[in-house]
Structure 1
Amino acid sequence: MPEQAHVDHRNILQRYQDFRTRRFRKYEQTWATSLPRWRTRGRRRALVIAVAVSFLVMATTAVLCAFGFTTAALLWLPACALFFPAWTVLQIASGRLGDAPEAALDEFEVAQRNSARSIGLTITQYLMLIPIGYLLIGAVHGLGAGEDVAYAGALMVLTVLLIGGCAPAMILAWVRPDPVAED
């Protein structure tokens, strides 16, 4: 009788969480010693401010485009030039705790992460009302050419989703104390 293949009786979510935990721990080991000077609370806060400034430029770009300044879309490029490196360094410096799987954290870290995620979701839900309102009013009252309204609305939605998605990591990076120095 042929040997039967091992059957994994865990559901797909459990397997995915196990995969996420393994991947998180692998990257944690890879990046644990990177950017040691950026791991202080002051430097992390500076990175949070840089990311927030990039969001401000993105939001301003979306509003300017909503008012018909089509060349304002070029402001998106410097916003991205600030966002991507600042966000990458912030994620490394803060240990990616905002999106860490539960199995990789202790109870206190899980509680902090869940609280930050809840705040991020609330921010997303409330801020999303702005582009929804703009798109509804733009569609009903014809605020401009359809493409302009759609483009500005898309920039608003993208900005809000980035803010909400990044908020948990930004909150955790802001509130967590300096790492304890090892002997």
Structure 2
Amino acid sequence: MSERPDILTRYQAYRTRRFLENDARTRHWLPAWRTQHRRRILVVAVAVMLFMLFVVSISSLFTKWAALAWIPAVLVFIPVWTALQTVSGRHSDAPVGALDEWEVQQRNEARSIGLTVTQTLVMAAAFASIFLSTANEDMPRLAYAGGGWTIAALMAGICSPAMILAWITPDPEPEDTEDFDPK
């Protein structure tokens, strides 16, 4: 009698299969942006956009119209973030079965740093919201601003593993970047 794998094993196999299928489909997108120098440009661009989200959140505390700046900031952030994920191979999100031992180690270290970034920034946003709510009761937009700080903090933590991996990963080997012929 053969034992059937448990649900987690089957799910991980499914995730690995899907990841490898998506990787095969996107591995040749944006070939000129797959160098370490260009990936670093995208990392800086994502960092700037995350900083802009924090600035917009802080500004929304003082004026209600600043909240409208979220729209263009997010509209710029999404394609830059997507490009970074594409050119870095989404290794920060990859299941263990799709990576070699060194890549798993690098991914886990980057995720650990990402967790620390998330915890630190969200804690700072929470303390700022708590302090401001007790220090001054005449801040009608504090809840919105605090929510924006928290969302920006979460996004920074979510993005940091991919940013770290994109920054530290060396250029791909020449045979990995050969022209793709889809036939």
Using the size of structure 1 for normalisation, the TM-score is: 0.90
Q: Can you list the C-alpha shifts for 1:78-123, whole angstroms capped at 9, x where unaligned?
A: 2112211111111110000011000100000000000000000000
The whole-number CA distance in structure 2 between the counterparts of 1:138 and 1:10 is 52
**Are the structure 2 counterparts of residues 8 and 43 from structure 1 closer, same or farther at C-alpha, using a change threshold of 3 Å?**
farther
One of 40, 48, 53 as aligned partner of 1:45: 40
1:34 is aligned to 29
The whole-number CA distance in structure 2 between the counterparts of 1:34 and 1:8 is 41
Q: Say if 1:143 and 1:149, in contact at 8 Å, map to a contact too.
A: no
One of 153, 164, 177 as aligned partner of 2:170: 177
> Where does structure 1 differ by over 4 angstroms across 4 or more consecutive aligned residues?
none
The whole-number CA distance in structure 1 between the counterparts of 2:5 and 2:71 is 45
Q: Say if 1:137 and 1:143, in contact at 8 Å, map to a contact too.
A: no
Q: Say if 1:51 and 1:82, in contact at 8 Å, map to a contact too.
A: no
2:104 is the counterpart of 1:110: yes
Using the size of structure 2 for normalisation, the TM-score is: 0.90
Partner secondary structure for residue 98 of structure 1: coil
Matches within 5 A, 1:153-164: 153-164=146-157
1:10 is aligned to 5
1:98 is aligned to 92
In structure 1, stretches of 5+ residues that fail to align are 1-5
1:71 is aligned to 65
Q: Say if 1:57 and 1:75, in contact at 8 Å, map to a contact too.
A: no
Q: CA deviation at 1:73?
A: 1.2
Partner secondary structure for residue 100 of structure 1: coil
The whole-number CA distance in structure 1 between the counterparts of 2:82 and 2:50 is 15
Identity rate of aligned residues, in percent?
45
Q: Can you list the C-alpha shifts for 1:119-149, whole angstroms capped at 9, x where unaligned?
A: 000001111122111221233342512xx11
Q: Can you list the C-alpha shifts for 1:134-181, whole angstroms capped at 9, x where unaligned?
A: 221233342512xx1111011011101111001000100000000010
Partner secondary structure for residue 97 of structure 1: coil
The whole-number CA distance in structure 2 between the counterparts of 1:153 and 1:97 is 31
The whole-number CA distance in structure 1 between the counterparts of 2:121 and 2:7 is 33
**Are the structure 2 counterparts of residues 140 and 23 from structure 1 closer, same or farther at C-alpha, using a change threshold of 3 Å?**
same
